[in-house]
Amino acid sequence: MEVGFLGLGIMGKAMARNLLRNGFRVTVWNRTLSKCQELVSEGASVGETPASVVKKCKYTIAMLSDPSAALSVVFDKDGVLEEISSGKGYIDMSTVDADTSSKISEAITKKGGYFLEAPVSGSKKPAEDGQLVILAAGGKELYEEITPAFNVLGKKSFFLGEVGNGAKMKLVVNMIMGSMMNALSEGLCLADKSGLNPQTLLDVLDLGGVANPMFKLKGPAMIKGSYAPAFPLKHQQKDMRLALALGDEHAVSMPVAATANEAFKKARGLGLGDHDFSAVFEAVKGKGSSGDA
């Protein structure tokens, strides 16, 4: 099966590589074309532009960093829209808001193409291991056709109905994740200042009802102050912001998420936007360790 793949960031590269390794013929494109070299050496072809990738491939998958990149790849000169046509499918796996998704969907389908939004849950490691969770919505037929690729990229895919629902589900999941990361950060601070061993806290958490892979994976690194970006903080904060905006639209009050979002903002203000989102721990800690009476 032949697929195009647009966007070779942390996630995209791992995903395109998995497709290659599982026998897909993959034509890749990236804004900085030099980033394609590694995958070429593993068997990928290169497209000069998004348009040329779409021209060549029946199915094109995109994995871009944010809504503006997702829009740009479609609508800009040499973009997807120039070559999409009847019989071709475009699958956008970027995490974007529902409005962006709808805009892309309309443009694609107007040209006769098929569109599927399919954001994923999971970051670098699951991407590498083909263990993503795929939240697809839009064209049911395209969903079925692209399932072989989803089977390689993820451990499970959901079809969630109309375009926008994939984006929304992703935001809800990431909002919960962001609040949990704040909860852990506050807990680690409190343990430390109260004379408890933060690593023991992690051990206790891992044995109880709230044990989860994220705490287990990121907790020890947080204690060491190590924040190599699996999921950059600025993207996590963007997702919190979009989730809160979705809540605003529906008059849903979410004070815990809103408070967590402000901590992520503070972390961005501290220059931690490009670190892993677990670096919110630094913002939670503040400088305030000297104590007082």
Catalytic annotation, residues = 170
Q: Does the protein bind a second copy through residue 34 (CB under 8 A)?
A: no
Least separation, in Å, of the C-beta of 219 and a second copy?
11
In the complex with a second copy, which residue's Cβ is closer, 102 or 237?
Answer: 237
Specify the DSSP element, H or E, that contains 133: strand 132-138
CB-nearer residue toward a second copy: 36 or 173: 173
Please check whether residue 257 is in contact with residue 237, taking contact to mean a CB–CB distance below 8 angstroms: no
Q: How far apart are CB 283 and a second copy at their closest, in Å?
A: 8
For a second copy, the binding residue among 84, 96, 177, 279 (CB under 8 A) is 177
Phi, psi of 104 (to 5 degrees): -65, -45
Verify binding: residue 247, a second copy, rule CB under 8 A. yes
Using CB under 8 A as the binding rule, whether residue 41 contacts a second copy is answered as no
User: Residue 32 interacts with a second copy (CB under 8 A)?
Assistant: no
Beta bridge partners of 154: 132
How many whole angstroms separate alpha carbon 238 and alpha carbon 231?
A: 12
Contact status: 14 vs a second copy (CB under 8 A): no
Residue 210 CB neighbour total at 10 angstroms = 11
Answer yes or no whether residue 127 interacts with a second copy by CB under 8 A: no
Q: Give the interface segment with a second copy, choosing from 39-47, 77-85, 105-113, 154-162 (CB under 8 A).
A: 154-162
Q: Looking at 74-82, 83-91, 141-149, 172-180, which segment touches a second copy (CB under 8 A)? A: 172-180
- Under 8 Å between Cβ of 245 and 210: no
Euclidean distance between CA atoms 52 and 187, whole angstroms: 50
Residues 172/243, Cβ–Cβ less than 8 Å: yes
Interacting residue with a second copy among 60, 94, 261, 278 (CB under 8 A): 261
Element (H, E) at 60: strand 59-62
**Measured torsion, CA atoms of residues 163, 165, 170, 171, in degrees rounded to the nearest 10:** 110
- 52: tokens are 């040329």
Footprint on residues 42-61 left by a second copy (CB under 8 A): none
124 makes contact with a second copy (CB under 8 A)? no
| Structure tokens belonging to residue 138 | 């839009």
191-230 binders of a second copy (CB under 8 A): 191, 193-197, 200-201, 203-205, 207-214, 217
Q: Which residue has tokens 């203000």?
A: 269
Rule CB under 8 A: is residue 262 a binding residue for a second copy? yes
Choose one: 3-11, 49-57, 74-82, 245-253; the region binding a second copy (CB under 8 A): 245-253
112 is an interface residue for a second copy by CB under 8 A:
no
